[in-house]
Structure 1
């Protein structure tokens, strides 16, 4: 197996001739040089091929890669495209204000609805808007596209655990979206309305752990949905249905406390509240003391169960995988 060279490479989209880079002596002990083909094979993202006569593997390369301290550094998509993050932030803020206005009209002159004050409801809206991009609440189909295009064959050649690789990628994406789009949304809401905040250091720690579990639980569910691409070419339709169910059942559209009792009881037996609603309730202090620890344990259990299901589904899906082409 050839070693990937550790060198500085910039891949310029739009160029269709290979750019040859030869690293300094000793930088690449096996492969003396690498050709970067910025062609259209993977959506103008580039393919790396060792050109010493031995083909190791071709893989999509980001448009811009740099090296820091001898290791390749790749920016998450949110940081690589700050203007897209800015316009996404503006859109998020606009629709967040609209959702807040709807909730305010729901309360009217009433001080509370289902145990929520007006301030709690506004905080809930801010939190759900904050987490739209980080938790991919409107859907995620990267793996689905990779399977349909056949790029999954290339991914499987890499010496890593497939599920953990995608988990790490999504963690970086989520962190970037949280910083660039999530935190500013919270600040905008805090400037417009008074918000509720976690109580004390313990409240902040519980909320942080819960948010991490909510992301992991949601990612495992999204990965499972994307695995439908192993069985059907119409996995996008499966995804659209799944994202609709997710948006309603995780508490994004409105707090689950506003739902009828029978529906809340039914959803309590599903993983969906653990993907968003639980974290926001811990932030608001709706669940505290032993109930808060029970909520975290439930999130952890659902996360472990969904990751186990994702691993089993992935293995079964790979048995059906056929990649044609050269």
Structure 2
């Protein structure tokens, strides 16, 4: 356990080194937040003041919480493991006394912990100043969010881990990674809330772990789901985490047993 805690600390320290990148990322998130919130508010206004239960304040809150959490959750892809598989360096990782999947998860949780403030707080402040953002006044949403956000990061990592494992079978994983990024961005609720999806698309989203990566923590933190509904949302996230981690272990076991690492 101590080794995994050190890996989480290393993940935090690794990304905290690139401070100017954090500033640039926060600025980018803020600019896109202004664009996104403006579009969402315009859509709500043109629909008569509400869409699928989202009024202007809920729409603005959703938009800015998405921008605050998107870097923390890590929705825009990651291919470090795929590159190590392609070069053969993953053989060194597999020879280490630590579990490949869990060590990567620990490091990614450290990354997410760092991203939460420098990449998430500035956009949220801008949203509060210039848009009708509103957060709950009760304690429960924040307590549940303290569980929901790490679960979202972990589910995102577990899915990215599996996509990277495709490199055991494919020489070039750019196509698979691109498809994953598109699917995760749409079905997680990053583009528009999942509640705005037509019925058939909402059913597809519900059958995937993607809403647990962003829509779930946004709903919990904004207070859109409360009480036992919020607890149920967090429980669904935990179930998806268990399922994706288990599936990742099955895929990893099959890959390392049946295939030769590219490069040696």
Q: Structure 2 CA distance, aligned partners of 1:170 and 1:75?
A: 8
Q: Aligned to 2:71, what secondary structure does the other structure show?
A: coil
Does residue 198 of structure 2 align to residue 260 of structure 1?
Answer: yes
**Where does residue 105 of structure 2 map in the other structure?**
167
Task: Give 1:250 shift.
Answer: 0.7
Q: 1:105 maps to which residue?
A: 42
How many angstroms does 1:112 deviate by?
Answer: 1.6
Greater strand fraction, Structure 1 or Structure 2: 1
Aligned match for 2:24, one of 87, 93, 101: 87
Q: 1:290 aligns with which of 228, 250, 256?
A: 228
Stretches of structure 1 lacking an aligned partner (at least 5 in a row): 1-71
Task: Provide the C-alpha distance between the structure 2 equivalents of 1:293 and 1:95, rounded to a whole number of angstroms.
Answer: 31
Deviation per CA, 1:110-144, whole angstroms, max 9, x where unpaired?
32211011111111111111122111211111111
Regions of 4+ moved over 6 Å: none
Contact 1:271 1:302 in 2 (8 A): yes
Q: Is this contact kept in 2: 1:217–1:303, CA < 8 A?
A: yes
CA distance in 2: counterparts of 1:302 and 1:162, whole angstroms: 20
RMSD, matched Cα? 1.8
Aligned counterpart in structure 2 of residue 129 of structure 1, from 67, 74, 86: 67
How far apart are residue 285 of structure 1 and its match?
Answer: 2.2
Deviations along 1:72-100, one digit per CA (max 9) or x if unpaired, are 96753331010111111111111111111
Q: Which runs of 5+ in 2 are unaligned?
A: 1-8
- Equivalent-residue separation in structure 1 for 2:70 and 2:190 (angstroms): 9
Distance 1:106 1:231 in 2: 44
After TM superposition, list the pairs within 5 Å mapping 1:1-326 onto structure 2.
76-108=13-45, 110-319=48-257, 320-322=259-261, 324=263
Larger Rg: 1
Cα 1:75–1:105 shift into 2, 3 Å: closer
* Distance change in 2, residues 1:198/1:311 (3 Å): farther
Distance 2:38 2:106 in 1: 37
Checking the alignment, whether the CA contact within 8 Å between 1:213 and 1:303 is kept in structure 2 is: yes
Answer with 302-311 or 86-95: which moved more.
Answer: 86-95
- Flag the structure with higher helix content: 2
Change (3 A) 1:112 1:233: same
Give the Å deviation of 1:229: 0.5
User: For residues 137 and 153 of structure 1, what CA distance do their matches in structure 2 show?
Assistant: 27
Partners of 1:78 and 1:173 within 8 A in 2: yes
SS in 1 for 2:117: helix
